[in-house]
């Protein structure tokens, strides 16, 4: 399992300098894992906070590892064909909205994907550090991820009426929560047959989720909704951190539990969650 970290030194043994964007792989299961740092001169970045690029999404498709990086005015795509050792950066950027984009993850190497598209979600703003009023969605054919002109943006008025546009200025919200849309991650929980969207819940306009704040997990039958609330907390027993994800390979075969990876306490933190289904869903 591949991961990235920001403003840190990676797993033990730590790298020799603090990185704004570092890469690693995680071996083993959620209760016995260990991390291995991946060094990459073309992928690593330096610069604290907003001054350095940081990964906001990773996805493996057909043996190619794709990365979305925030703090890149607004965000930039990169890809690696050798498991993270070397990277190429796209000559274009998301310059309108999509300030903190992330991929929808399915199974290993994109196994079990619903169709031939890759889906990208973000807060509807230019900065990864300012909460927005809505989330936005884009899609691109999985064999054209590197081409900016191949991207389409959600323009539907309801989940029942999907619509897409090539013009980013005509995008419409796929999720609305005024002042609370921030960093997020998305996966498809195959045993449950639904999409799970982890969203950080900032405590104010200038949040520091390392110290305080909460998060929510929303679920839906389609990548664009309709969304219902599976879990919601304004305050956890620790700050949930700047990012989190539900690795699809760490979802139980029956879907009744999964492991959440999050950056609470400025660490690679892992906690188990249990799923209770409504009677109609059993």
DSSP letter string over 145-179? TT-GGG-EEE--SBTTB--EES-GGG---SEEEEE
CA 93 – CA 158 distance, rounded (Å)? 28
pLDDT bracket for residue 281 (50, 70, 90): low
pLDDT of residue 279: 65
Using the 8-state DSSP alphabet, how is residue 236 labeled?
A: -
For 158, other C-beta atoms within 10 Å of its C-beta total: 11
Region 59-65 average pLDDT = 99
Q: Is the pLDDT of residue 229 over 70?
A: yes
pTM: 0.96
Four-point Cα dihedral 82, 83, 84, 87, nearest 10:
30
Residue 224: both structure tokens together: 């664009």
For 77, other C-beta atoms within 10 Å of its C-beta total: 24
Domain range enclosing 207: 2-281
Residue 195: both structure tokens together: 């999409």
Which residue bears the tokens 């139980």? 252
Using the 8-state DSSP alphabet, how is residue 146 labeled?
A: T
Q: Compute the mean pLDDT over every residue in the chain, rounded to the nearest whole number.
A: 96
CA 14 – CA 4 distance, rounded (Å)? 14
Query: Tens digits of per-residue pLDDT, 160-179?
Result: 999 999 999 999 999 999 99
CA 210 – CA 240 distance, rounded (Å)? 6
The helix or strand, by DSSP H or E, that contains position 229, with its residue range, turns out to be strand 228-233
Q: Distance of alpha carbon 95 from its chain centroid, rounded?
A: 19
Query: Tens digits of per-residue pLDDT, 192-222?
Result: 999 999 999 988 778 788 877 899 999 999 9
**Angle (nearest 5°) at CA 254 between 248 and 260:** 40
Four-point Cα dihedral 120, 156, 189, 43, nearest 10:
0
Which residue bears the tokens 């190497």? 109
Q: Distance of alpha carbon 85 from its chain centroid, rounded?
A: 21
CA 178 – CA 28 distance, rounded (Å)? 39
CA 274 – CA 281 distance, rounded (Å)? 15
pLDDT of residue 139: 99
Number of structural domains the chain divides into: 1
CA 241 – CA 272 distance, rounded (Å)? 16
What's the Cα-to-Cα distance from 55 to each of 3, 72, 75, 95, 131, rounded to whole Å? 9, 10, 9, 17, 18
pLDDT of residue 207: 78
**Angle (nearest 5°) at CA 101 between 129 and 193:** 125
- CATH number, residue 168: 2.115.10
Query: Tens digits of per-residue pLDDT, 30-52?
Result: 999 999 999 999 999 999 999 99
């Amino acid at each position: 399992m591949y991961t990235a970290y920001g403003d840190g030194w990676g797993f033990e043994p730590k790298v020799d300098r603090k990185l704004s964007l570092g890469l690693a792989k995680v071996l083993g299961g959620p209760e016995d894992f260990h991390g291995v740092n991946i060094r990459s001169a073309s992928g690593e970045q330096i610069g604290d906070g907003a001054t350095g690029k940081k990964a906001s999404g990773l996805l493996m498709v057909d043996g190619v590892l794709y990365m979305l990086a925030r703090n890149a005015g607004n965000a930039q795509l990169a890809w690696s064909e050798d498991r993270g050792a070397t990277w190429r950066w796209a000559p274009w950027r998301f310059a309108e909205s999509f300030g903190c984009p992330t991929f929808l993850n399915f199974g290993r190497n994109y196994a079990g994907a619903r169709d031939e598209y890759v889906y990208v979600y973000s807060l509807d703003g230019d900065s990864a550090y300012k909460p927005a009023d809505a989330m936005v969605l884009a899609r691109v054919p999985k064999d054209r991820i590197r081409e900016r002109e191949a991207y389409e943006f959600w323009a539907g008025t309801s989940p029942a009426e999907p619509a897409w546009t090539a013009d980013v200025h005509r995008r419409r919200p796929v999720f609305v929560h005024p002042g609370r849309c921030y960093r997020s991650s998305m996966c498809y929980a195959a045993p449950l047959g639904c999409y799970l969207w982890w969203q950080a819940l900032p405590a104010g306009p200038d949040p520091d989720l390392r110290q305080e704040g909460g998060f929510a997990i929303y679920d839906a039958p389609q990548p664009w909704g309709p969304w219902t609330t599976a879990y919601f907390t304004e305050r956890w027993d620790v700050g949930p951190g700047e990012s989190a994800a539900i690795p699809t390979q760490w979802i139980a075969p029956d879907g009744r539990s999964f492991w959440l990876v999050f950056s609470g306490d400025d660490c690679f933190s892992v906690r188990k969650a249990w799923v209770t289904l409504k009677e109609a869903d059993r």
